C-alpha cells in the first residue's frame, strides 16, 4: 500500500499538495470558527485515513485513547480541543469497540468475572432510571442517554477494551509504565506551577471561578493539568500507594527505579494539591497493602511509620511553615469549617431526599427544574463527593447499588491477589492496583472525582487488569524471566567492556546497581 501511495504522489504531486493544503485550511477553520460545512468536506479524507488506521492498528488507537484521557482536561483548558471532550475520548472508544467486533483479536481474556457482574448490576439500575418521574417532569431519553454515557457506558467500554487490548504481558507493562511517566509529568507540571507561578491560561481559568476553591485562607492548591486540585490530589495519593507497592515487588531494577520515582513524584503531587483527601487516599491504599501482603514484619513497619506520620501531623506543629503541610494537618481537625459545611449540606439533602429513594432521576434536564419544585434545592446543593452526587440523582438505592458494584470489584480483586496468583511480581501488580482502587474510592467519598478524567480508565481499567492476570500469569512469568535474562546479559557485557578500559568512565559504578 505504501508503494502504491508513493507512486501516486510521484505522478499526481499537485493534487496531493492541494488536498493537503485544503486539509490544513479545514483544520484552521475548525479551530478558529467552528465546524463548518467546508471543514467537514475537507476533513473527509482525514476521517477515512483515521478509520483505516483504527481498524488496522487497534493497539495504536487504544494508546491514543489512554493518552488522551490523561491529558484531555489540560488540552481543553489551553483551547487545543475545540470540540466536546467526548468526541476525542468516548467516540474513539466506540470506534475501537466496533473494530474489535469486526476484526476480533486473538489472545487470552477473562470477560466473565465478578467485575462484569458488578458493572451489569449498576448499569441495570441506571436503565430502570429511565422511568424515574420523581421530579414530575417529562422524561427525556436524550438526557438519560447523555448521563448513561459517563455513569455506565464508560465503565463497560473500559472493561471490554482492557480485556481485548491489554491482554498480553507487554501491554500490561506498557500500561503501567505509561501511567508512571504520565504521573511524573503531572507532578512536574504542579512543580512548575508552584515554582514559577501560573501561566496566562491558568490565571484565566482561576479568574473564571477556579480561584474560589484553589486559594483558600492563604493556602494555594495546585492542580497541574487536571480538572481541579481535588481530582489531582486524590489521583496522586492513590497512584503513589500503587507505585510504591509495585516498586517493592517488581523483579527488574529499571522498573523498580521508574515506579519508585513515580511514587515519590506522586507524593509531592498530592501535597502540592493541598487536598487533604489525597493524604487519606495514600494512607488507605498503604493500609490495604498491609492486609494483602500477609507479612508481620511489613505490618509492624507500616503501623509504626503510619502512626508516627499521623502523630507528627495531628499532634505537633512540625513543618507548619509550609502551607501544604498546614493544609494536610486540617484533615485531623474535627472542627474544620469546610467539613462542617459538607455535613450541613448532607443533612439538608437528607430531608429532601427521604421522599425520593430513587433520587431526582437521570432522565431530566436538571437545569430546567422549576423554582417551585422542591428538588430544585437538591440540584443546587453542592454535592462535594461522587457518592453524594449519585445520592442526589439516583437516590439512596442508587448509592447502595453503586457501592455494591465497587465492593464486588474490590473484594474479587483482593481474592485474586491473595489466592489465585503465585508470582511475586503479579501479586505486586494486583495488590498495587487494588490498593489504588480502594484509595480512589476513599477520594470519591469525600470529593466528586471518580467520574473525572482520567480516573475511570486508570483505576477501573487497572482492576480489569487484576481480573485478567490469572489467565495470563504464566505468560507474564515467562516474559519477565526473558526480560530479566536479557537485562542481565546486557549488564554483563557492559561491565566486561568497562573492565577492559584503561580509564574507567565516571558513570561505571551505576552498572553495578542496575
Rounded alpha-carbon distances, angstroms, from residue 402 to 100, 141, 151, 408: 28, 22, 10, 10
Lowest mean pLDDT among 94-98, 187-191, 430-434, 489-493: 489-493
Alpha helix positions (H), 33-84: 37-42, 44-56, 58-77
Express each pLDDT in 320-351 by its tens digit.
666 666 666 665 555 555 555 666 767 767 77
pLDDT at position 13: 46
Angle at the Cα of 423 (from 419 to 429), degrees rounded to 5?
85
pLDDT at position 155: 92
- DSSP secondary structure of 97-166: HHHHHHSPPPS----SSHHHHHHHHHHHHHHHGGG--TT-----HHHHHHHHIIIIIHHHHHHHHHHHHS
Confidence class of residue 1 from pLDDT cuts 50, 70 and 90?
very low
Q: How far is Cα 456 from Cα 85, in angstroms, rounded to an integer?
A: 15
Express each pLDDT in 147-167 by its tens digit.
888 899 989 999 999 999 998
Express each pLDDT in 237-296 by its tens digit.
999 999 999 998 888 888 999 999 999 999 999 989 888 888 889 989 998 998 898 777
pLDDT at position 342: 64
Question: 460: which 3 cell numbers?
Answer: 477501573
Provide Rg for the chain, Cα atoms: 25
pLDDT beyond 90 at 507: no
Amino acid at each position: 500500500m505504501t508503494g502504491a501511495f508513493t507512486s501516486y504522489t510521484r505522478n499526481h504531486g499537485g493534487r496531493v499538495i492541494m488536498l493537503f493544503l485544503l486539509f490544513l485550511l479545514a483544520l484552521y477553520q475548525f479551530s478558529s470558527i467552528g465546524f463548518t460545512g467546508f471543514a467537514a468536506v475537507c476533513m473527509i479524507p482525514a476521517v477515512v485515513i483515521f478509520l483505516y488506521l483504527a481498524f488496522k492498528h487497534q493497539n495504536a488507537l487504544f494508546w491514543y485513547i489512554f493518552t488522551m484521557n490523561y491529558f484531555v482536561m489540560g488540552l481543553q483548558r489551553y483551547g487545543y480541543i475545540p470540540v466536546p471532550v467526548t468526541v476525542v475520548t468516548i467516540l474513539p472508544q466506540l470506534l475501537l469497540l466496533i473494530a474489535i467486533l469486526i476484526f476480533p483479536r486473538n489472545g487470552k481474556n477473562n470477560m466473565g468475572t465478578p467485575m462484569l457482574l458488578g458493572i451489569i448490576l449498576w448499569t441495570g439500575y441506571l436503565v430502570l432510571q429511565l422511568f424515574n418521574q420523581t421530579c414530575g417532569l417529562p422524561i427525556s431519553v436524550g438526557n438519560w442517554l447523555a448521563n448513561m454515557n459517563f455513569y455506565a457506558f464508560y465503565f463497560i467500554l473500559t472493561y471490554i477494551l482492557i480485556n481485548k487490548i491489554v491482554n498480553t504481558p507487554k501491554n500490561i507493562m506498557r500500561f503501567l509504565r505509561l501511567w508512571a511517566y504520565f504521573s511524573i509529568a503531572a507532578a512536574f507540571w504542579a512543580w512548575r506551577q508552584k515554582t514559577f507561578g501560573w501561566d496566562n491560561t491558568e490565571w484565566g481559568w482561576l479568574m473564571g471561578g477556579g480561584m474560589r476553591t484553589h486559594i483558600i485562607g492563604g493556602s494555594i492548591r495546585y492542580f497541574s493539568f487536571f480538572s481541579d486540585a481535588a481530582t489531582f490530589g486524590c489521583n496522586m495519593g492513590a497512584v503513589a500507594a500503587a507505585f510504591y507497592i509495585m516498586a517493592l515487588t517488581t523483579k527488574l531494577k529499571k522498573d523498580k527505579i521508574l515506579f519508585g520515582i513515580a511514587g515519590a513524584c506522586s507524593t509531592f503531587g498530592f501535597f502540592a494539591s493541598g487536598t487533604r483527601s489525597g493524604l487519606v487516599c495514600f494512607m488507605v491504599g498503604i493500609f490495604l497493602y498491609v492486609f494483602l501482603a500477609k507479612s508481620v514484619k511489613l505490618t509492624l513497619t507500616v503501623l509504626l511509620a503510619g502512626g508516627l506520620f499521623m502523630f507528627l501531623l495531628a499532634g505537633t506543629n512540625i513543618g507548619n511553615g509550609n502551607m501544604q503541610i498546614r493544609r494536610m494537618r486540617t484533615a485531623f481537625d474535627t472542627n474544620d469549617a469546610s467539613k462542617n459545611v459538607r455535613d450541613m449540606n448532607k443533612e439538608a439533602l437528607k430531608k429532601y431526599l427521604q421522599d425520593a429513594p430513587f433520587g431526582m432521576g437521570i432522565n431530566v434536564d436538571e437545569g430546567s427544574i422549576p423554582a417551585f419544585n422542591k428538588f430544585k434545592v437538591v440540584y443546587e446543593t453542592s454535592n462535594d463527593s461522587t457518592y453524594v452526587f449519585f445520592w442526589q440523582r439516583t437516590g439512596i438505592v442508587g448509592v447502595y447499588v453503586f457501592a455494591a458494584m465497587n465492593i464486588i470489584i474490590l473484594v474479587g480483586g483482593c481474592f485474586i491477589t491473595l489466592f489465585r496468583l503465585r508470582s511475586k511480581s503479579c501479586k505486586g501488580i494486583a495488590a498495587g492496583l487494588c490498593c489504588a482502587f480502594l484509595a480512589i474510592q476513599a477520594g470519591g467519598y469525600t470529593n466528586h472525582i471518580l467520574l473525572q478524567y482520567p480516573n475511570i480508565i486508570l483505576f477501573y481499567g487497572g482492576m480489569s487488569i487484576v481480573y485478567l492476570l490469572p489467565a495470563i500469569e504464566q505468560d507474564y512469568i515467562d516474559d519477565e524471566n526473558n526480560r530479566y535474562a536479557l537485562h542481565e546479559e546486557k549488564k554483563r557485557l557492559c561491565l566486561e567492556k568497562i573492565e577492559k578500559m584503561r580509564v574507567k568512565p565516571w558513570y561505571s559504578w551505576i552498572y553495578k546497581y542496575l
